[in-house]
A and B are shown apart, each in its own frame.
Chain A
Amino acid sequence: MSEIEIIIDIIFLIFDILIFPGLIGAIFFGGIMSWFNRKVIARFQSRRGPPFSQSWSDLIKLFSKEQIVPVTANRFYFYLGPLIALTGAYMVCLLFPIRFLGNSFLSSLGELLEYGDIVLVITFLLFPAIGLIIGGTASGNPFSSVGASREGSMIIAVELPLALALLTPSLYLMHQNVLGAFNFATIEEVQANSAWFLFKFPFAGVAVLICLIVKLGIRPFDMVEARQEIIDGPLTEYSGALLGLIIITKYIMWFAFSGLLTLIFLGGGGNLQAPLNIIAFLIKSFGVVFVISLIDAISPRFRIDQAFKIILTSVVILALVDPFILIVTSNI
């Protein structure tokens, strides 16, 4: 391989990490998704909703404000929490095989991504919750600690159904002896050649949607930040740039979570050419955001014990249906 090709690959890699699907693209499209969610809810509630620039106005305001750390807080962990949350959400986006400049990069990151994509994603999906728990418990506010304990019980509940449902397509691919069954690119390619996995595994798809709603903190599962009960949960003491970082994390989570569902169950970008596959991917992602917003608009909030019970019974059963059918029909 010539030197020029290596340089081009490095440029591609930097583009991937920083522009799309990396940091800037994720924040940009995630911000639009967050605005879209607020707008859809507002229209359902006969309100006007925020203007298009609202996501960015929020960030500009927060980053220009004074940063206050409470006296009771543990400074180190107070700063560490949002950073861990941001890192986890960002890494999920980075693993997406949706790329502007084609898929050919040879760096160590590229080799890493060849194996175990979904397992890595399940790990990184934990990071935002862990960051909030660290930040919330470190801030020394009773509301924050209640919020953090709620977040803790939510991730305990939601990990099992999420992992079960997300790994159902991989289980199927492994059974079909497809190479790289855990890889996003393979899953996307298989769906492009046959049907979407949503039609093959509808129960798993719905289970993933519910789990992502829990992770995003959307009604009916928004008890972590229940405004009427515990002010803002783990975020109560955050202000200024740190709150801005958490808002950025939320934007990236919108992009990452809707993108995850799109990639694994809705066929991702298909086998289209470079700009077209991104457009297809984004349209599907916005569809997912619309469905989530619909659920957000029509439901009240569960109590924490109700939510725990529902996730560990109904959603786990929902997630188990498709693997069960797969095992029974294939006579393993």
Chain B
Amino acid sequence: MNSKKYDNLMEIPDLKFKRLLTIPIGPFHPALIEPAFLTLHCDGETIKDVNIKVGFSHRSVQYIMEKRNYNRNIFIAERVCGICSNHHATSYTGCVERLLEIESEIPDRARYIRTIILELERLHSHLLWIGIAADLIGFETLFMHSWRDREIIMDLLELISGNRVNYGMQKIGGVRRDIPNELIPKIRRVTSGVRKAIENISSQALSDRIVESRFKNIGVITDKDAQKLGVVGPVARASGLNIDSRKDSPILAYDELDWQICIQKEGDVSARLIVRVQELYESLSIIDQSLDKLHDSSSKEIALENIPSMGSGLEALFKSEPPRGELVYHIITNETSCPERVRIRTPSLINNNAVPSMLKGYSLADAPIIFGSVDPCFSCTDRVIFVKDINKNRTKQLSLRELARKKRKKFRRFIL
């Protein structure tokens, strides 16, 4: 990332934009749920240039992970993101299992339970996005309805795991809680209710003519641009790219199940909506099939009893597909019980950087929905803080710990 360009955001980037109206969106703005900073340089209502800055909710997750042992890190991984929490926990445990070379020995039951929870998470995340997208074009009723129906899935997750947001289901070698066979009919009843709710919501969203006129031909990325920008997830699939980590590098039970990658060609916001709606139905079908397999599985084992000890100098990469796109976990081990290095690459990090090229040339009124259409998630994206020394005009990278130390020094000087 060219950090110099992103430092002083209210600064007008080019002389030819000097007469433009500069409109800040963020760091705290009604259109954004989490902190991010967009600067729109507008000519009237048309956007001419865009700057984006993230990094307002940096929590140095990777650093913390290097200081804790492998079992404790599951809970840190789960707290990277509030919406795809289980995707992070599953990816982390999957990566560690790959390092321990026990990936193929994971009990069937655990694999199906993991798949079910991942897909339930995708359901509630996509419903959340539909609500936010509706709110961003002022469609408050659809927003309320989709969030109301999302509650059913949250309640179902609470029924299965005991928690609503961070489920605490994963452990190295399996899952912590079983889904007993007696619970499966009840889950089926709930998911059929969810299917009805999704039909209602998608008909509201897809048949409304004002929604169509607001979403069509807005924020277009062609397939070539999408490849160049490297976008992932529903954004890439809406531009016609046939990528999905669940098919490309199958994990858990995905290669045993029958499901399709949802692709649209147009690359506009409307295509992203349609892709997400189709993925809702695919998720429901995946859950149904996994429940079947779970019901038929003979063994009652949900986790491995004996976990081998970790070797040193190993390295593993694990890819999964959260609702927003491809998530990569990369872990390097050493001789201690803590990882040497944990690298997390979240999908929003890539998709956010595609936003400026989506926004240029469109109206100011479309800016929130275009930005919202990539389903931005900032807490999981923020990694590094760039600090600019104004006097020397030099940028350097600081970890949160160094910043804290500096601040503490300054504070002591102030007190004493």
Contact = CB atoms under 8 A, between A and B. Distances in A.
A305 B145 CA distance: 28
A316 B63 CA distance: 63
Nearest to B210: A300
Interface string A49-74: 00000000000000000000000000
A298 B142 CA distance: 8
Given A303-B214, A304-B45, A229 B141 contact: no
B72 to A, nearest CB: 40
Interface in B47-98: none
Interface in A282-320: 297-306
A219 interface: yes
Nearest to B24: A142
B136 A228 contact: yes
B363 A47 contact: no
A45 to B, nearest CB: 4
Contacts, number: 81
A115 interface: no
Contacts of A231: 29-30
A228 B368 contact: yes
Interface in A219-273: 219-220, 222-223, 226-231
B211 to A, nearest CB: 6
B30 A300 contact: no
Contacts of A229: 31, 364-365, 367-368
Contacts of B139: 299-301
Given A146-B23, A146-B45, A220-B210, A303 B141 contact: no
A234 to B, nearest CB: 15
A46 B138 contact: no
Interface string B10-29: 00000000000111100001
Contact of A143 (B23, B136, B144): B23
A41 interface: yes
A222 B138 contact: yes
A142 B363 contact: no
A230 B31 CA distance: 9
B258 to A, nearest CB: 35
Contacts of A304: 45, 363, 365
A300 B141 CA distance: 9
B208 A300 contact: yes
Which residue, of A45, A231, A303, has the highest number of chain B Cβ atoms within 10 A? A303
Contacts of B144: 45-47
B134 interface: yes
Contacts of B134: 300
B138 A228 contact: yes
B148 interface: yes
Interface size class, chain A:
20 to 34
A104 B354 CA distance: 70
B135 to A, nearest CB: 7
B400 interface: no
A327 to B, nearest CB: 33
Given A46-B145, A142-B23, 4 more contacts: A46-B148, A145-B21, A229-B31, A300-B139
B12 to A, nearest CB: 13
A143 B22 CA distance: 10
B365 to A, nearest CB: 5
A223 B141 contact: no
A143 to B, nearest CB: 7
A93 to B, nearest CB: 29
A156 to B, nearest CB: 15
Given A46-B145, A303-B366, A226 B21 contact: no
4 closest residue pairs by CB, A with B: A301-B138, A300-B139, A45-B144, A228-B31
Interface in A74-132: none
Contact of A300 (B21, B137, B145): B137
B138 A219 contact: yes
Nearest to A305: B363
A304 to B, nearest CB: 6
Contacts of A41: 140-141
A304 B214 CA distance: 11
B367 A300 contact: no
B65 to A, nearest CB: 36
Given A142-B22, A300-B137, A306 B213 contact: yes
Contacts of A143: 23
A298 B367 CA distance: 23
A45 B141 contact: yes
B141 A297 contact: yes
Nearest to B45: A304
A227 B137 contact: no
Contact of B30 (A222, A227, A297): A227
Contacts of B208: 299-300
Nearest to B137: A300
Given A146-B45, A300-B211, A303-B365, A45 B138 contact: no
B363 A303 contact: yes
Given A46-B148, A229-B364, A231-B30, A298 B138 contact: no
Interface string A134-163: 000000001101100000000000000000
Contacts of B31: 227-229
24 contacts: A41-B140, A41-B141, A45-B140, A45-B144, A46-B144, A46-B145, A47-B144, A142-B23, A143-B23, A146-B23, A146-B364, A220-B210, A227-B30, A227-B138, A228-B30, A228-B31, A230-B23, A297-B140, A299-B139, A300-B137, A301-B139, A303-B363, A305-B363, A306-B213
B299 to A, nearest CB: 43
Interface in A195-229: 219-220, 222-223, 226-229
A303 B62 CA distance: 42
B264 to A, nearest CB: 21
Nearest to B42: A146
Contacts of A306: 213
A300 B138 contact: yes
A300 B368 CA distance: 14
Contacts of A300: 134, 137-139, 142, 208, 210-211, 214
Interface centre among B29, B138, B142, B213 (most CB of A within 10 A): B138
A306 B366 CA distance: 12
Contacts of B138: 219-220, 222, 226-228, 300-301
Nearest to B40: A142
Nearest to B30: A227
Contacts of A297: 140-141
Nearest to B132: A228
B23 A44 contact: no
A226 B213 CA distance: 17
